[in-house]
Amino acid sequence: MKVVRDLVAAFSMKSEFAARRNKLYRIAYSWCHDPALADDLVQETIYKALKNASRLRDVKTMDSWLYRILYNCWQDYLRVKGRNVEFVEMHDEDQSGQADNYQQSQIVKRVRSSVEKLPLPLREVVTLADFAGFSYAQIAEITEVPIGTVMSRLFRARKSLKEQLLEFGSEDISEFKLRRIK
Partner 1 sequence: MMNINDITEDKLNLFIDEQLDSDEMNFIHEAMLDDKELRERVCQLKAVRELIGYAYSEVPPSRHVNTGQKRSNTYAGRAVAASVLLVVGVVLGWSTYEYSPNAIQAISAENTFQYVANHVKAEHGTRKIILHIDSSDLKVVNSALNEADQLLATYRKANAPIELDIITNKSGINILRPGMSPYIDRIKELIDNNEAVAVYACDRSVAKALKKEGMAIELMPGVTKDKSARELIPERLKKGWVYIKA
Query: Given the rule CB under 8 A, which residues bind partner 1?
Result: 21-22, 25-27, 29-30, 35-36, 38-39, 42-43, 90, 92, 95, 97-98, 100-101, 103-104, 107-108, 111-112, 115, 126-127, 129-131, 133, 135-136, 151, 154-155, 158-159, 161-162, 165-166, 168-170, 172-173, 176-177, 180
Nearer to partner 1, 29 or 71 (CB): 29
Q: Is the dihedral of CA 76, 121, 63, 22 positive or negative?
A: negative
Q: How far is the CB of 5 from partner 1 (least distance, A)?
A: 29
Q: How far is the CB of 79 from partner 1 (least distance, A)?
A: 24
Q: How far is the CB of 108 from partner 1 (least distance, A)?
A: 5
Nearer to partner 1, 69 or 115 (CB): 115
